[in-house]
Structure formats: structure tokens, C-alpha cells
Structure 1
Amino acid sequence: MNQLSNIMYRESNGFSYSYFENYSDDCNCMWRKVTEPENVYTIERIDILPEFRGKGFARELIKDAIKRIEAECPKACVEITAEPDEDSGISVENLVGFYVSLGFEKYQNFGSRVHLRLYLDDSVKPHTVYDYPFHFK
């Protein structure tokens, strides 16, 4: 199968989900707005069945999530962590490269886990993304 169904959206228990219609539990992107600081969202998890990997489906789900976040908060900072599941066969380096290709920038590297940020509006982006814990100018 080279094609998945339409991307759908739902909210549940404080999380938002973009998912493929026929694969809501197996092919989805889960995110939430954090309570503090304001205007920060975090993509918590991306699940793609192994047979659908490398076909652009994860990219489409993340792009849909970012589009929905931007509609809610145009000046948001979106955080994501590159930390693959042990049995996924995906390396941290591959995940970081994938997220960087979507516009995310690294700001903390712990070896087996890398944190990245994407600013939806450059006017709120600090001069360097490595200014943790500050998110905005």
C-alpha cells in the first residue's frame, strides 16, 4: 500500500491528534499546548507503522499538526524530541535530520535524545535557539 487515507483530527485527554482515517492508533501525530511558558506546544509522539515508513506519511502528519498549531497560535514555538523507540530501527541522527528538514533547530543534545524547536514567527525567535530556558525574545 502506497497511499493512506485522509488526515483527520481529534482531541482527547488534553492532547490533539492528526491521524490517518483508517489508522488512528497506528499512524498519528500527538501534540499539546504546554501550560507554561505561554505559546509553547510540544509534539509528544509520532507513530507510523513500519510498512509506511520512508514514504512521507510522518512528514504529512507533522505538517498537519504544525498547520493546526499555527492556526491557533501564529507566534508559537513548537518543540519536539528526537528519541526513537528502542525496537524501531531508527537512529537519533536520522530523526534529527528528518526534523531539521521540517525547519526544526537543535537546542539541546543528550546523545540518545535531542531536543529541537521550530518558531512559527521569526519575530519571536531568540537570537540563538540554545538560550534555554528562554523561549522568546
Structure 2
Amino acid sequence: MLSTGWFYWAMLSAVFAALTAIFAKIGIQGVDSDLATLIRTVLIMLLLSAFVAYTGKWNNPLHLPARTWLFLTLSALATGASWVCYFRALSVGNATQVAPVDKFSLVLVAVFAALFLGERPSLREWLGIAMVGGGVLLLAWKR
């Protein structure tokens, strides 16, 4: 049975990720993809700042442990690199090609989570992950 808490948020993430691809593809027409990524990032920062302030979740980030800072910094660098690559790919490819290949990250997350976090997906979950990987290869394969 589904645990509605995580599944609900994951489905919303998927919907917004899909809209991101469509809106970005339209928005980068005639604009350098790196500039578009910067604009998007600034807007996200403003939106999240307002959200955190509105919900009363602001805490002094200087009080966070060094380990938290290290891994949030690494995550930010990976996110930035991902966004630059994603927007560059969208600027030269179709959204229907780029977005599915980008989702190969699902396969990589499973492998990395098993290697580094000790997570152990079930055989059924590995089968689903392999199917996603196969789908990405099918989409990327040129005729």
C-alpha cells in the first residue's frame, strides 16, 4: 500500500518537474540557456525566501553543523550543474527527448543510495528501476 505522505509530495514534484520542462522550453527561445538558468535560480531564491519567511521557518543558518553545510553545498553544486546541463539540452533538443533522459537520474539515485546510503531496494523495485533505464535507452537510441 502507498504511504500517502511521501507519494503525494513525490507526485506533485513530478507534475512540477514536467511543467518545468514545458515552461523552460518555451522560455529559453531566443535566450542563452545559462542566462535563463540564472534568471530561474534568482526567481526560485526569491520565492523560497518568501515561503520560508511566511511559514515562520527561518532559523539562523550559521548555527547549522559543518556537515550540513558541506552536504548542502555539494547538493547545491550538483543542482546548479544539473540545471545548466538541463537548460542547455532543452535549448538544442526536444522536451520529449530531454526530460526522459534527465530522469535517468532515478536509476543513478537507486545505485548511489545503495552504495552510499546502504538502502536496499527490493527485487521488484530494482526491476522497475531497470525498466526506467531501459526506457531511457529506448528513447535515446537513434534509428
User: Structure 1 or 2: larger helix share?
Assistant: 2
Greater relative contact order, per chain length (Cα 8 Å cut-off, separation 6+): 2
Mark yes or no: TM-score above 0.5: no
Q: Normalization by structure 2: what TM-score?
A: 0.27
Q: Based on CA coordinates, which of the two structures has the bigger radius of gyration?
A: 2
